[in-house]
C-alpha cells in the first residue's frame, strides 16, 4: 500500500488542527426562522443520494422559494422536468438518506441539510409547486435530521460570485449559527470579525 495513503481516523485527525468549538456545535435538527429565510432566498441546491448504482449529486433549481419549508422538520423539493434518468429518485427508493446543499448567488456561505426523503404524489403538495402552469410529477419531502452552515472559504477562494452583491434579506452566518446553537454567541461580533478571520485562514 502507498505509505502516503491515509487509512484510519487517527492518521486523518493528526493532519489537521483541532475543530473549533463553534464549528463542532453549530448544527441543529430543526428548520428555524433564519434557516427558513435562507432557503426561501435560494434558487438552487444540490441533492446528494446513494443507491445500488453508487452515489449521485443532482442539481435542483427554480425561482427563489421553489424549495418550501413545510414545518420545522420538513422541506419540500419539487421534481421539475429533467432527463428522466431519475438517478436520485431511484436511489431514494433504495436508501432514503439524503444531503441537500443550498446556494444563493452573492452569498459565500452555504446551507447543508441532512435527512431522509420520501417521494410523494400528493395532489395538494404538487399543486403548491406549480410553475409555468406545470405540475411536478412528484415532490420530495426531506425529513430533516441535521442543519448547519458551511463557511465561506470555498466560494471565496473560487471567486464564484464575483460581481454579485449579497441580497440584503439573507441572514448572516452569525445569525444562522446563533439560531442553530440556540444562543451562546453574539452574531454581530461573529460577523464583524469574520472577514479578517477568513482571510487569515483561507489556505
Scored b (16 or more CB within 10 A) or e, 124-140 reads ebbeebeeeeeebebbb
The pLDDT, as a whole number, for residue 202 is 81
Nearest C-alpha neighbor of 111 from the set 101, 126, 121: 101
Report the mean per-residue pLDDT for the chain: 95
Q: How many domains does the chain have?
A: 1
pLDDT at residue 24 greater than cutoff 90? no
Domain of 109, in residue numbers: 24-200
Q: Which helix (H) or strand (E) holds 146?
A: strand 139-150
Looking at residue 138, its pLDDT comes to 97
Give domain status of residue 2, yes or no.
no
How far apart are alpha carbons 104 and 87 in whole angstroms? 25
pLDDT in tens, 84-135: 999 999 999 999 999 999 999 999 999 999 999 999 999 999 999 999 999 9
How far are the Cα atoms of 56, 78, 88, 202 from residue 85, in angstroms, in the given order?
Answer: 11, 16, 9, 38
**Whose grid coordinates read 435560494?**
42
Write down the pLDDT at residue 22: 86
Question: Tens digit of pLDDT for each residue in 156-187?
Answer: 999 999 999 999 999 999 999 999 999 889 99
With cell 463553534, the residue in question is 22
Tell me the pLDDT band of 143, cut-offs 50, 70 and 90. very high
Residues 6 or more apart whose CB falls under 8 angstroms from that of 55 comprise 48, 49
Mean pLDDT over 38-66 rounds to: 97
| pLDDT for the residue 159 | 96
pTM of the model: 0.92
Per-residue pLDDT tens over the stretch 65-93: 999 999 999 999 999 988 899 999 999 99
Look-up: residue for cell 502516503?
4
Q: Does residue 107 lie within any of the structural domains?
A: yes
- Is 187 contained in some domain? yes
Mean pLDDT of all residues in 56-68: 96
Q: Which is it for strands 54-61 and 74-78: parallel, antiparallel or unpaired? A: unpaired
**How wide is the angle at C-alpha 138 spanned by C-alphas 137 and 142, nearest 5°?**
160
Where residue 30 sits, what CATH number does that domain have?
A: 2.30.110.10
* Residue 7, domain member (yes or no): no
- Round to whole Å and give the CA distance between 198 and 152: 8
Answer whether residue 13 is part of any domain. Answer: no
Q: Is the pLDDT of residue 56 over 90?
A: yes
Give the three-state DSSP class for 158. helix
Residue 37 lies in a domain: yes
Residue 101 lies in a domain: yes
In a domain, 121, yes or no: yes
Q: What pLDDT was estimated at residue 190?
A: 94
**Residue range 12-34: average pLDDT?**
92
Amino acid at each position: 500500500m502507498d505509505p502516503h495513503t491515509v487509512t484510519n481516523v487517527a492518521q486523518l485527525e493528526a493532519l489537521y488542527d483541532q475543530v473549533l468549538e463553534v464549528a463542532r456545535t453549530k448544527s441543529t435538527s430543526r428548520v428555524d426562522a433564519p434557516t427558513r429565510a435562507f432557503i426561501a432566498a435560494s434558487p438552487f441546491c444540490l441533492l446528494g443520494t446513494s443507491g445500488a448504482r453508487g452515489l449521485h449529486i443532482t442539481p435542483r433549481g427554480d425561482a427563489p422559494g421553489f424549495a418550501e419549508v413545510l414545518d420545522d422538520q420538513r422541506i419540500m423539493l419539487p421534481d421539475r422536468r429533467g432527463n428522466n434518468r431519475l438517478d436520485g429518485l431511484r436511489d431514494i427508493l433504495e436508501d432514503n438518506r439524503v444531503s441537500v446543499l443550498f446556494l444563493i448567488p452573492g452569498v459565500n456561505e452555504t446551507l447543508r441539510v441532512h435527512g431522509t426523503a420520501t417521494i410523494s404524489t400528493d395532489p395538494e403538495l404538487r399543486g403548491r409547486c406549480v410553475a409555468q402552469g406545470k405540475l411536478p410529477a412528484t415532490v420530495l419531502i426531506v425529513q430533516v435530521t441535521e442543519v448547519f452552515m458551511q463557511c465561506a472559504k470555498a466560494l471565496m477562494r473560487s471567486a464564484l460570485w464575483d460581481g454579485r452583491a449579497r441580497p440584503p434579506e439573507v441572514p448572516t452566518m452569525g445569525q444562522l449559527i446563533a439560531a442553530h446553537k440556540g444562543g451562546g454567541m453574539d452574531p454581530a461580533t461573529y460577523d464583524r470579525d469574520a472577514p479578517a478571520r477568513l482571510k487569515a485562514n483561507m489556505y
